[in-house]
Structure formats: C-alpha cells, structure tokens
Structure 1
Amino acid sequence: MTDKVKKDIIVIGGGLAGLTAALNLAKNDFKVCLIEKNEYPNHKVCGEYVSNEILPFLNSLEVDPFSAGAKKISKFEITDIKGTPLKVNLPLGGFGISRYAFDNLLFESLKSKAEIIFDTVEKVTFEKECFSVTTQGKEILNADFVIGAFGKRSNLDSFLNRKFMQQTSPWLAVKAHYEYDFPKDTVALHNFNSGYCGLSKTETNVVNACYLATFKSFKKYGDIDIFQKKELSKNPFLDRFFKEAKPIFKKPLTISQVSFQKKKPVENHIFMIGDSAGLIHPLCGNGMAMAIKSAQIFSELFLNVFKNNNFDRMKLEEQYTTQWKNEFEGRLKTGRFIQRVLMDPFASKVGFSMARIVPSIVPKIIKKTHGTKAV
C-alpha cells in the first residue's frame, strides 16, 4: 500500500541512474519514492561493461558489484569491418556485469531504505512548488522534487514535449547472451558495414553481445538471424562468434528509435539523469558508468545544498545543468565524432591505419569518453 505522505523526492525510473540516486538520497534521510514499471530482476538492452570510474561512488553506497560476480576487465579489442584487430590496455579498466544482476543488486540495497512502487508514470505536473505524479494504476503522489531517470525514450518524454522526440532516430539495438569461449578480461568492439557489436563477459560467464545498427540496413532483411548472417558476419570475428556461440535467450532483446539527439539536463523543473539527460554512443562503452556518474553529480549537489541550508530551486537547476555539461558534453561530443568516423568507410580506414601505426592514440581517445581515474 502506498504511503500517502508527501515525499521529499520522487525518482521516476529504476535503472542504474535512478537506483543509485535514490540510494544516495535515502541513505541521507530524505523520504524517497522510486517508481519503476518492471519488477526486478530483468534483462535490458545494454552493453554491460562498466568503467571503474564509478567504483568509489558505489563503495560509498556500500554496493560491491564483485560480490555479485562481476568480471574485472583490463583490455580492449577493436576490429574494422574486415576484422583486422587492434588490442590495447584500458586506461582505467572496468568490469562486466549484466543489468539483470546489477540492477537487482542495487534494488536489494534500496528496498529497505525507500518506498518502491512498480507502476508506469503517465503524468507529471508542477504547481506552487510542488510536483504531482500520476501513475497508470491511478496513484497520485506529491513531492518537492522529481528526478527523471526513465531511460532513452519514454512516453513521459512526449508528455513533457521534449524536443528530441520530434525527430526520428535511424538506430536500433539488439542484445542477447551466449555461451562462448571469450577472454573474461576483455571488452571487444567489432565493426560491420552499418554498425558495431560489443562483446564482454558477465557475472555468469556468458558473453553479452549487444549491437547497434541502422534501421535502414536492417529493414532490407527484416529478420535478426538473417541480418546477422548477411551483414554482421562480413566481419570474420563476428562470423565466427555467431556460428559458434550458443544463444541463452529464446530470442534477442531489441529496442528501436535509439536517439543520440541533445537533451536538456533539466526539463519542467525535473532533474534528468542517466539516458534521460543524454545518451552517449555505445561504441564508447561508457553508458552505464555515465548513468551512475550523473546520479552522483545530482545527488551530491542536492545534499550539499540542503546541508548548507541555501536552497534556491532555480539556482539548483542552473548548478546541476552546469555541472552536467562540464562532466559530459565533451564525452558526448567525442562519441558523436567517433561514430561519424566509424560509419564512414574512408574515414574509418584512415583512422584504423593511424591507430595501428600509433596504437597509443587509442587509450587517449578512450580517456576522452571516460571520467577521471578511480581512487
């Protein structure tokens, strides 16, 4: 039964960003309500590689991904569309863990500290310094603040008239788990004509394969298996993978209309975190860490404001927008540039040739899409 008392904060969306923000705020004695449409655990379309940059924050939340079996990852392999490989060490390193396990780990930590409602939010209004949140189940909840953590693309984005929703996106993403002999310390990125596919091991020793492709190229085939055989398998690494790997899922998970358009960190006084604030191109392999980092930025800023008793809503919105841009705009810009290079045959060929001659430039590029060194 829902607690009808007005909340300090409502978090809409229980992915990595929503869960970590809620956990940090609840640990600091704020009345938090998290609303998530799906019960835990569940699989999500995601690369399932996480940069070590967020380990200190997770430690402060008393969350240990390695207790759930996360695999330590220190190496990166990338191939061009012909399958020519390039291998480097990752500057920070990271870990591999499924969203099935990671989200559930965070949920288990949060459920005794905050109210959690499994429902879909249909409407959010703000009037006289108070939010009203209406769910599909006809719950009406009130709060002083709302955090938007509802992912890449949501009906709420339409309700809020967010600009990026007016533009169609040419991308779709496909993800599945496989049994396959793959090094547990490596994350790989294999390119093909109309996209790229990431491979890494998760806590259960299966390989997560997640790829992004243009809808235009997929539409020619209209079938995932055929598309993989005709397009992805032109890369010898992916050809061998899909021939030898044993699928774990009955069928792959898919999402369409994956948008990389610019978004605002604050909309209608709602603080956006995770993919709701901005989505980095998956080839950067850092979406999960960025989601958690954005939750850290907002929650720590929020806690600091209230600790010092100097709350001003407009000032808080401006401060968060500035901090979000300072942390992420450069990464997103680099991601868009790398995407353009890899999707252009000539530019990609030149880029790979340069990287093979001077392999040290690859870690430098990786650093531009990742945060500072974990301590």
Structure 2
Amino acid sequence: MGKKFDFIISGGGLVGCILASELSKLNFKCCIIEKNKFELSRKSNNINPLSLNYRSRIILEKLKLWNLLKSECNPISELTLKHFNNLSRVKFQSNDVNLRNLGYIFDRNFFQNTLRKNILDNKKITILDNTAVKDITHNKTNNNITLSQNDQRVSSKYVIVCDTSESSLVKFVCNDVEKINYNQTSLIISAEGTFTASSAVQHFTKYGVLALLPHSSKTASLVMTIKDEFLSEFIIDDSLNDQNIVRLFKNYSEKLSLKSLVGQYSMQTSRAKSLLRNNVILFGNSSHLIHTIGAQGYNLALRNVEAFIEYFSEKQIEDNNSLNKLVNKIDQDRHDVFDNIDFALSMFLNDSPISKLLSKSIITSLKLYPGLKNKFLKKIIGLEKYPYLSAETI
C-alpha cells in the first residue's frame, strides 16, 4: 500500500507549493511529487516576470504569504492600454479606484524560491522528487499511486494535479482536452533603459501583443506575443533583432537596450473539459494553458487556491456533492477568463476594418465614461463585485 497521506500534490511549482503550505496549516498530511529536483533556483541576472493583480495580493495576505514576498516586487500604479495608434489609448491609474497600486511585478524565480523554502522548512509536508506518477488506481476510499522511482507507492483520498497539461494524471481525469494553436510565439526579453517604474504598458499591434513590465526605473521585461508570420522580423536562430524590437518600444523608454532573451514559448494552449474524477482534481497548468494576454494565468490559479482552501477549512469534505460544487465554481471562473481572453484577442488583435472600428469605439467609450472605465479596471485587477475597500486603500 505504501505511505498514506490526506493529499498528494503532483507538481512542486508555484501552485503546488501554495496548496501544500495552506493544507498543512489545516493539519492535513501532504505529499508533493516533483519530477525534477525540489530545490531552490540559483539567482539569475535576468528576471522572468510574474504579474499579479491587486486581488492576488489580497489572497496572499489572507494566506499570510504576502509578507514573505513583498520585499522583492515592483508595484504598478498605472497601466496604459494602446491599440495600434496613439489616438486609441486609455490610461488606468490606481487612484481611479482608491488604491495605492493596481498590481505587482515579481521575479518568478524569487517567488518560487520563497514558496519552496517555506515548504522545505515545513515538517508536515513530504517531498518525493526526481520521480513521476507511473500508475494510478482507485478504490472506494483512496487513490493509489505508483511512482517511477523504484515503483514506490503512496496513497491518499485526494490527489491535486498541478504540473503540466501532458501529465498522465490529466489523461486519467479527462480524455477531452481542447487544443488551441494561436500561431503566435511569446518572447520574454530582459531590457535596460529609463523607465517609469510604476507604469506598465500593453500595446496591441499588427504584429501581436506587446507588454512592458518595469522592475525598476532602469530595468524591465519586454513580453512580445508575436504572430508567427512576423516572428522572423524579431528573432532569427535565437538572436534578437534589436533594432526592430527597440523601434516598437521606443515611446516607452529612453536609451532602451536589450540584455537577453529570457524565454521563448509557442502559444499552443489547452483547456481540459472536466476537472474532477475519483477525487483527482486538475489545477493550474494541468487544467489549462492560456494565452499570455493580460497575464491571467497565475491570478486565476490563486483565486482557485483561495476557493479550495476555504472549502476544506469549512470541513465540508464528507459531502461529495459539495466537492462537485467547488469544482464547478472553479470551472466557472476558468470559463469567465477564457471568454475574456477570446473576446480580447478577437477584438484587439484582429486587423480587419470592422474590428479596428469596434475596438477603437471601446477605447473611446472607456475614455469618455469614467464609470465604465472604472468597472473595466476593477475587472482587470480582479476586484469586480469584490469588497476590496476592506483591504488597503489610500
């Protein structure tokens, strides 16, 4: 049978670490299965950005993790959305909604290292690394897992899958996974220059979606999600075309220079059609890979974690129907995000005359009507219909 746990978590990344940490606070015995070595990453000169909105900060404060993380982030109080030309732009500021900041830019490696250190110091959590799930069987009370390393066995009532969409556990839960190929490639570039440290930019162009995420007044990440038909204009054989890239961002920084290519990802995404089978639950990247637009991925995951922890802290775990309700709630949040992404891409990245006219009218309406603009802003930062005024305000 092997060792028994309350929860087995497949994947020791950003989502798995927070889930294990919070479940252990509820006195559940947790086991993390990680296919790689579960260790702290070496400090890098190049930042891999992680964007969190204000709602995510509230969640991290609620989970008592914010104080561990806040020292190494760059607060963003201004966001500019631009569509093709200078006339089609709208600027959002935190004081529009009575907040100090709209969101925060982290170094992903720092964020994960902080969470992992928290796990390594936690005696209630067992880590099984350099191994993967080889097989899973289910009986009336448990899921029994056989690992690839020495056929080691572990079991638990609940298994949370938060590794990748290619995991064997994803196939166990859901055979129907929608694949979406956007025919785009995301480039993450480390840059230096003179930046407004508190101001982020998202610019929709004929080439794709551009984002400038400042880390300080001197450093920033450029995130370019480029249509594949234009990719050769910006990168050839892993070499960046500095001139063309700097030209696109020249209005947002003086003396802009590119340091290095931090990451390159094909925008081939996935959406699992179901999330639950025999108390095996898909979470994070295992349940979906979504487009980079709006940096929704980890913000969505944190909202799902919040709902999950609230559910198990309220001791509803013997009610199987209520578990289905929880998963339905998480799934509804996912589909709201999917709908927003699909709308934004079809509207703002479509260079047809009708789409350009409609998107321009949307931006004009946001500029003319403060109430509509603020409602849109609250949606971006995760505070629509959320009592955020009980949190930190000006």
Bin the TM-score by the shorter chain.
0.7 to 0.9
Task: State the alpha-carbon separation in 1 of the partners of residues 243 and 274 from structure 2.
Answer: 39
User: Which of 25, 29, 33 is residue 31 of structure 1 equivalent to?
Assistant: 29
Give the 5 Å matches for 1:312-351: 312=319, 314-345=320-351, 346=353, 347-351=355-359
User: Which of 54, 74, 78 is residue 56 of structure 2 equivalent to?
Assistant: 54
Using a 3 Å threshold, how does the CA distance of structure 1 residues 119 and 268 change in structure 2: closer, same or farther?
farther
Percent identity over paired residues: 17
Using a 3 Å threshold, how does the CA distance of structure 1 residues 202 and 234 change in structure 2: closer, same or farther?
closer
Contact 2:134/2:145 (CA < 8 Å) preserved in 1?
yes
Cα deviation 1:40-63 (Å, max 9, x = unaligned): 337899752101212333223321
Q: What is the identity, as a one-letter code, of the residue corresponding to 1:29?
A: N
Aligned to 1:116: 127
Cα distance, 1:154 vs structure 2: 2.7
Task: State the alpha-carbon separation in 2 of the partners of residues 315 and 97 from structure 1.
Answer: 38
User: Which of 221, 232, 246 is residue 208 of structure 1 equivalent to?
Assistant: 221
User: Which of 4, 12, 16 is residue 18 of structure 1 equivalent to?
Assistant: 16
Cα distance, 1:227 vs structure 2: 6.6
Cα distance, 1:269 vs structure 2: 3.5
Give the 5 Å matches for 1:204-283: 206-218=219-231, 223=237, 225=239, 235=248, 237=249, 244-247=256-259, 249=260, 251-261=261-271, 263-267=273-277, 269-283=279-293
Cα deviation 1:279-330 (Å, max 9, x = unaligned): 4543223322211111121122123235xxx514x42441222221343432
Of structures 1 and 2, the larger Rg is shown by 2
Task: State the alpha-carbon separation in 1 of the partners of residues 227 and 205 from structure 2.
Answer: 11
Task: State the alpha-carbon separation in 1 of the partners of residues 329 and 223 from structure 2.
Answer: 30
Specify every segment of 5 or more residues in structure 2 that has no aligned partner in the other structure, as ranges: none
Specify every segment of 5 or more residues in structure 1 that has no aligned partner in the other structure, as ranges: none
Contact 2:271/2:287 (CA < 8 Å) preserved in 1?
no
In terms of mean alpha carbon deviation, does 163-172 or 314-323 score higher? 163-172
User: Which of 120, 123, 137 is residue 126 of structure 1 equivalent to?
Assistant: 137
What is the DSSP-based 3-state SS (H/G/I as helix, E as strand, rest coil) of the residue aligned with 1:17?
helix
Give the 5 Å matches for 1:58-207: 58-63=60-65, 64=67, 66-82=69-85, 85-90=89-94, 91=97, 93-113=102-122, 114-128=125-139, 129-138=141-150, 139-151=152-164, 153-156=165-168, 159-160=171-172, 162-164=175-177, 168=181, 170-202=183-215, 206-207=219-220
Task: State the alpha-carbon separation in 2 of the partners of residues 219 and 316 from structure 1.
Answer: 51
Higher share of residues assigned strand? 2
Task: State the alpha-carbon separation in 1 of the partners of residues 11 and 82 from structure 2.
Answer: 35
Aligned residues: 363
TM-score between both structures, scaled by the size of structure 1: 0.82
Using a 3 Å threshold, how does the CA distance of structure 1 residues 144 and 300 change in structure 2: closer, same or farther?
same
Task: State the alpha-carbon separation in 2 of the partners of residues 256 and 149 from structure 1.
Answer: 20
Task: State the alpha-carbon separation in 1 of the partners of residues 175 and 318 from structure 2.
Answer: 27
Aligned to 1:9: 7
Q: What is the identity, as a one-letter code, of the residue corresponding to 2:274?
A: K
Q: What is the identity, as a one-letter code, of the residue corresponding to 1:352?
A: K
Task: State the alpha-carbon separation in 1 of the partners of residues 16 and 327 from structure 2.
Answer: 17
Contact 2:69/2:111 (CA < 8 Å) preserved in 1?
no
Contact 1:57/1:296 (CA < 8 Å) preserved in 2?
yes
Cα distance, 1:158 vs structure 2: 6.4
Contact 1:260/1:278 (CA < 8 Å) preserved in 2?
yes
In terms of mean alpha carbon deviation, does 96-105 or 11-20 score higher? 11-20
Contact 2:179/2:269 (CA < 8 Å) preserved in 1?
no
Contact 2:276/2:327 (CA < 8 Å) preserved in 1?
yes
What is the DSSP-based 3-state SS (H/G/I as helix, E as strand, rest coil) of the residue aligned with 2:326?
helix
Contact 1:180/1:206 (CA < 8 Å) preserved in 2?
yes
Contact 1:125/1:131 (CA < 8 Å) preserved in 2?
yes
Cα distance, 1:233 vs structure 2: 6.0
Task: State the alpha-carbon separation in 2 of the partners of residues 177 and 60 from structure 1.
Answer: 32
TM-score between both structures, scaled by the size of structure 2: 0.78
Using a 3 Å threshold, how does the CA distance of structure 1 residues 37 and 81 change in structure 2: closer, same or farther?
farther
